[in-house]
Chains A and B, each alone.
Chain A
Amino acid sequence: KAGVTQTPRYLIKTRGQQVTLSCSPISGHRSVSWYQQTPGQGLQFLFEYFSETQRNKGNFPGRFSGRQFSNSRSEMNVSTLELGDSALYLCASSLYRGRGTGELFFGEGSRLTVL
């Protein structure tokens, strides 16, 4: 079956702009998590959605937001981009069974460069 699909794979933006990233989870997976990966900071948790509801949120400013649609697809948005937002944004889906997170299946990521 198809894996987690993220679009776009690469994008370049300038400071002050906004960006929207998309994630389609594995069919049947209702939980979607977003992570920011940078060389110095590793994998930083942004947020997790389940059944269109945000279940958990990391320690990122309000410029970072997300949502999940009824078909489990998810989007994240970053407004007023800063140079430090340059990173690989990874989406992961899981077959949430009501207890714990479960195995995460990651997409290839969206690499954002802010100039």
Chain B
Amino acid sequence: GQQVMQIPQYQHVQEGEDFTTYCNSSTTLSNIQWYKQRPGGHPVFLIQLVKSGEVKKQKRLTFQFGEAKKNSSLHITATQTTDVGTYFCAGEYGNKLVFGAGTILRVKS
């Protein structure tokens, strides 16, 4: 079945450093969504990317969708302690949404 590979599994950064997580699919995606789950919480939708090569920004967060619609990235500039949590990508294949394993972000202050 379809799989979305997400790396790294875990990242521990110093506050103020940048952070990036990557997702890859072996087949073309209809779109990709990103979610954030705070420790002890539930996933919360961040954004959806639909178009090839799309780039969207939300304050310090930058989301990209690859030209071939097979990969995506989330980049956080100058991390803050409020950024801690697990970031999931979710690729859509037809009507099925497949989540990556997530990247756990820890921020040292």
- Interface of A toward B, CB cutoff 8 Å: 33, 35, 41-45, 55-56, 59, 90, 92, 100-101, 103-109
Contact = CB atoms under 8 A, between A and B. Distances in A.
Contacts of B97: 33, 45, 101, 104
B48 interface: yes
Contacts of B102: 42-43
Contacts of A41: 101
B101 A104 contact: no
Contact of A100 (B1, B95, B100): B95
Given A55-B95, A100-B30, A43 B43 contact: yes
Contact of B42 (A55, A100, A101, A108): A108
Contact of B101 (A42, A105, A107): A42
Contact of B31 (A33, A43, A44, A100): A100
Contacts of A107: 42
12 contacts: A42-B88, A42-B100, A44-B99, A56-B95, A59-B1, A92-B43, A101-B33, A101-B97, A103-B45, A104-B35, A106-B44, A108-B41
Interface of B: 1, 30-31, 33, 35, 41-45, 48, 88, 90, 92, 95-102
Which one of A33, A59, A103, A109 has the greatest number of beta carbons of chain B within 10 Å?
A103
Contacts, number: 51
Contacts of B30: 100
Contacts of A109: 42
Contacts of B41: 108
A12 B90 CA distance: 30
A105 B33 CA distance: 12
Contacts of A106: 42-44
A21 to B, nearest CB: 14
A103 B92 CA distance: 11
A33 B42 CA distance: 14
A68 to B, nearest CB: 16
Contact of A104 (B31, B43, B95): B43
